[in-house]
Structure 1
Amino acid sequence: MKNKFILVAALAIGFAGCEPEFENEVNAAYSSGEADFTRYVAVGNSLTAGYMDGTVSRVGQTYSYPNLLAQQFALVGGGVFTQPSFTEDVNNLGGIAGVPGFGNRLVIDASQNRPEPIAGTSTVTLTPQAKAYNNMGVPGAKSFHLLAPGYGSQAGLLTGTANPYFVRHATSSTATVLADAMTKNPTFFTNWIGANDVLAYATAGGAQANGVTPAADHNATGNLNPVTYGFNDITNSGVFNNVYTNIINTLTINGAKGVVCTIPSVTSIPYFTTVPFAPLSPTALGGPTNITALNTQLYGPLDAIFTALGEPNRINPLTATAANPILINDADATDRSAQITGALTPTLGATTAAAFGAVFGKARQATSGDLVVLPASSVIGSTNSAAPAGININGVTFPMANRWVLTSTERAKVAAATTAYNNSIVAIAASKNLAVADMNAVMNKLITGLKIETNSIYTANYFSGSGTEGQVLFSLDGVHPNARGYAVIANEFIKTINAKYKSSLPLHNPTYFPGISILPTN
């Protein structure tokens, strides 16, 4: 978006009538086919930049899928491929010094058995490089940001109109990402933009984070002016279509061929699928005695109130025989603050009843249709210092804030926008006879297991220990691939290119690429 996005393209696309060639194999028949890779340019966001483990680092950037593609293009006449310089990242920590929210890369501290930022002070600075590169992926960029003058202006950082990553290499304070990309006069391009147009809304927990300005779905608001959008807003699909058309018209103006990518569904990435909606085991709740007390003092009375108001399953008593769902605050739920206050006043008194009404007025238990975001794992069951005494355990006696859960209603908005964007991407690509890498389709295959050419099987799971580390394609931020994941992505591009442009390019062998960084101590 930091917040950003994810994986891969059509598994069904392969080499016609032959076994796949891997990078370690020698084959004099490699060919560029109908494509010209002399000047390859990649535009996009964090996925294109090689972002992983929550940042761009010197070593991590070398595994960006455009860099891996360029290595194979070089076998058939591809030219020099450049990426924004991270040579100052001497200790490979990533981050950006002095910029809040842009911290060091995540690692697993084996002594603590948890992910955490690697120790040390970032040496990456905002020193302007004033240079266009072949890899013009900018972490955090939405579709319309590629056309925004001043997106690389250091002064714009103070007003929120600029991006620190583009500030580092924009050719001028008024340059646009797309214009800088076009100075390379591409003969071939890849374009994977649009994930952030909807992903930022989803990773922020959807429509409203408690105490923060609500995010908006501009398909619903009809707002066609992206200058007025907040970062977490969903881009209007009409705006996306117009912007994407402009981007593709520009990239192809001199006859360049290329590949565009569909946007994966948020339901297929570990950031939204790792933490279950019902994680509260009887043991975690303190056993049967404590569960009975919770039901008597809290869950039972709330269930009775909601049932009387026609919402019998909004909150149910806890069970001592299975895992229970967390309590959440739902921005779209009917506000029952007044009814709760009135019902509880005779037994609790007006002041305490009013406090309960304020806390639980928009509360409900999570369901299988809700997605709990990855960072919530460290919040569930913790004490909320801002909550009233006695009902201050997050997810148990105090509803989880909106930012920790993408509700089923919010999830539907994300799905609708993703579908609209992908329809535009496919249609616009067809109008220019461009190849389409269907990353959305392959990401959905990862949910049940994706078998690649080496017979390795990968899943869309989060790191859960060294025993399954080899099957994980995602980095520790739960959104972006690790190096092995980027190799799989590059291969899907290659298969798409070979099929569309009659090229003969070898695949990378993902098993040769590293997975998660595990340190004995940090």
Structure 2
Amino acid sequence: MRLIHVLLITTLLFFSACRLETSINPEKQINTPVNTSVGFYTRYIAIGDSQTAGYANDGLYNWAIYNSFPNIFAGSLEGAGLKAFNQPLFSIAQMNGTGFMELKGTDANGQPLIVRDTLKTAIRESINISGSGTIQLLSKFSGDNDNFGVAGLKVADVTNTQAGNTNRYFERLLPLNAPANNTSYVDFVTSKPFGFFTLNLGINDVFGYAAGGGVNLNSLTDKTIFNAAYAALVNKLTGNGAKGVLTTIPDVSTLPFFTTNRLTDILNKAKLINPAFDKLYIEAKQSTDAGQDDHETRTATAADLLLLSLNVAQIGKPVQTQHGVQYYGLSLYAPIENKWVLDANEIAIIEDYTNAYNKYIKATALSKSMALFDAFTFFYNVKGGMVIQGIPVSSNYLTGGLFSLDGVHLSPRGNAVLANMYVAVTNAKYGTALKEAKLSDYSAN
């Protein structure tokens, strides 16, 4: 979906990232918002995971950070009293951070040809952390910061004092080098005064399980643990009277990562190999009991989701099995492995956990009298497409305009849409008159 033109921002990176006007989308600035008498926007902080950080195209890098939804939302807060919104940018020499995906056309099979840009990255060193294996650390950031998005962060991690040693994105923001960190996320983000925050956190408490095809049950956060950690975070954020917006968790099955590889498309290609190939075989969980781990081989149905990480070009290729040579995915004896499929029973488990998490988030917003952005409902509605500011958008991979190449994180335009959702709920709850970002100012790829 995205062909990144990193050279376009080279000159912009010479400006200070500490001033709001230079950290707004470098393509165009949004309209100056109207003045308001509400005074709690003296400092805005963004709390969350990779989506908050600006992660896109399977990477964290300056262009994506510039186009993060908190940075766009901060532009709308400028007229309400916000003077600056600082982000943890990489240096110019390391502007591409972790590296990222680029679209280079299509391959011989007509599939998107995606390569990874590995120039000007910010890899510091690799260290071994007991129990976590080898971690590739990123260059430290030590300036003023208001965007505390941490890729991979779970709600379950926020009170863990060792998270800054095992999560390289959090480690990058902390003053000490792993494994010497002992500051929890909740304490770190609240160490300096602030008046307003957005909280977009929780999807990673189910996403690891979903993206791994339901293989690792331990990737799901226990519901009681989720509630306790979420309460600790919100209580700390609101302890000094700060206002904010809480966010529900999207249904992961609405993301392009889970919806792009369609069963009907794959079977149509299989029939070109042999018209008799009319079934796709998968390994699937036998029960909706999360604690039960028995699997079976069966035919796939429309209720099962094939992950974007599945190499569909391998389907129909001859593979050696104990039953002789079979066609991969098209034979009962050579099914697509569970790790590449989110089957119907695994989807039901994810829905159960997501609904439980969201019930608690909504109850917390109500009890704290806080604004709530219902991301679950929004992403469900936008999946089939809608028109926003006269621009058609959808969750379609490569063509929908909302998502980046990884099929999980948003494009600049997607982030502008998300920022406008926060504008809407903030205005409705707190009586402000913040103005929306103009979507046409933000690229869809």
Give the TM-score normalised by structure 2: 0.81
> Aligned-pair distance for 1:385?
5.7
For CA contacts below 8 A with separation 6 or more, give which structure has more relative contact order: 1
Whole-angstrom distance in 1 between the partners of 2:113 and 2:372? 35
Question: Is 1:490 matched with 2:419?
Answer: yes
What CA deviation, in whole Å up to 9, does each residue of 1:318-340 have, x standing for no partner?
4xxxxx3421012327xxxxxxx
Residue number in structure 1 paired with 2:57: 53
Residue number in structure 2 paired with 1:413: 349
Q: 1:244 aligns with which of 203, 224, 230?
A: 230
Whole-angstrom distance in 2 between the partners of 1:241 and 1:187? 24
Question: Is 1:427 matched with 2:360?
Answer: no
Question: Is 1:87 matched with 2:91?
Answer: yes
Aligned residue for 1:457, secondary structure, equals: strand
Q: 2:188 aligns with which of 176, 180, 183?
A: 180
How many residues align? The count is 389
One-letter amino acid matched to 1:192? N
Q: 2:391 aligns with which of 456, 472, 486?
A: 456
Aligned residue for 2:429, secondary structure, equals: helix
> Aligned-pair distance for 1:488?
0.3
Whole-angstrom distance in 1 between the partners of 2:48 and 2:93? 22
> Aligned-pair distance for 1:77?
1.1
CA spacing shift, 1:460–1:283, aligned 2, 3 Å: closer
- RMSD between aligned residues: 2.4
Whole-angstrom distance in 1 between the partners of 2:425 and 2:233? 21
Equivalent residues in 2 for 1:325-364 (5 A)?
325-332=279-286, 362-364=296-298
One-letter amino acid matched to 1:93? N
Q: Is the 8 A contact 2:285 2:345 kept in 1?
A: no
> Aligned-pair distance for 1:30?
2.6
Aligned residue for 1:279, secondary structure, equals: helix
CA spacing shift, 1:111–1:404, aligned 2, 3 Å: closer
CA spacing shift, 1:89–1:46, aligned 2, 3 Å: farther
Equivalent residues in 2 for 1:5-20 (5 A)?
none
Q: 2:260 aligns with which of 267, 271, 274?
A: 274
Whole-angstrom distance in 1 between the partners of 2:146 and 2:355? 29
Whole-angstrom distance in 2 between the partners of 1:30 and 1:57? 33
One-letter amino acid matched to 2:229? V
- Structure 2: runs of 5+ lacking an equivalent: 1-27, 124-137, 288-294
> Aligned-pair distance for 1:252?
0.4
Aligned residue for 1:110, secondary structure, equals: strand
Q: Is the 8 A contact 1:152 1:176 kept in 2?
A: yes
Whole-angstrom distance in 1 between the partners of 2:158 and 2:266? 44
> Aligned-pair distance for 1:391?
3.7
What CA deviation, in whole Å up to 9, does each residue of 1:220-247 have, x standing for no partner?
xxxxxxxxxx4xx211111111111111
Residue number in structure 1 paired with 2:80: 76
Q: Is the 8 A contact 1:39 1:188 kept in 2?
A: yes
Higher strand share: 2
Whole-angstrom distance in 2 between the partners of 1:497 and 1:163? 31
Q: Is the 8 A contact 2:64 2:412 kept in 1?
A: yes
Whole-angstrom distance in 2 between the partners of 1:382 and 1:58? 40
CA spacing shift, 1:332–1:370, aligned 2, 3 Å: same
Residue number in structure 1 paired with 2:6: none
Whole-angstrom distance in 2 between the partners of 1:120 and 1:24? 31
What CA deviation, in whole Å up to 9, does each residue of 1:401-438 have, x standing for no partner?
00111111100000010100000001011111110001
Q: 1:143 aligns with which of 151, 155, 163?
A: 155
Compare 80-89 and 377-386 and name the one that shifted more.
377-386
Residue number in structure 2 paired with 1:110: 105
Residue number in structure 2 paired with 1:466: none
- Structure 1: runs of 5+ lacking an equivalent: 1-21, 96-103, 154-161, 209-214, 217-229, 293-317, 319-323, 334-360, 464-468, 517-522
Residue number in structure 2 paired with 1:502: 431
> Aligned-pair distance for 1:365?
0.7
Compare 51-60 and 373-382 and name the one that shifted more.
373-382
Residue number in structure 2 paired with 1:199: 207
Compare 237-246 and 371-380 and name the one that shifted more.
371-380
Whole-angstrom distance in 2 between the partners of 1:495 and 1:282? 43
CA spacing shift, 1:445–1:515, aligned 2, 3 Å: same
> Aligned-pair distance for 1:131?
5.7
Q: Is the 8 A contact 2:319 2:327 kept in 1?
A: no
Q: 1:366 aligns with which of 281, 288, 300?
A: 300
Residue number in structure 2 paired with 1:307: none
One-letter amino acid matched to 1:474? F
Q: 1:285 aligns with which of 268, 271, 285?
A: 271
Compare 386-395 and 119-128 and name the one that shifted more.
386-395
One-letter amino acid matched to 2:205? D
One-letter amino acid matched to 1:402? N
CA spacing shift, 1:39–1:411, aligned 2, 3 Å: same
Residue number in structure 1 paired with 2:378: 442
Q: Is the 8 A contact 1:279 1:326 kept in 2?
A: no
CA spacing shift, 1:388–1:194, aligned 2, 3 Å: same
Q: Percent identity of the aligned residues?
A: 30
> Aligned-pair distance for 1:384?
7.0
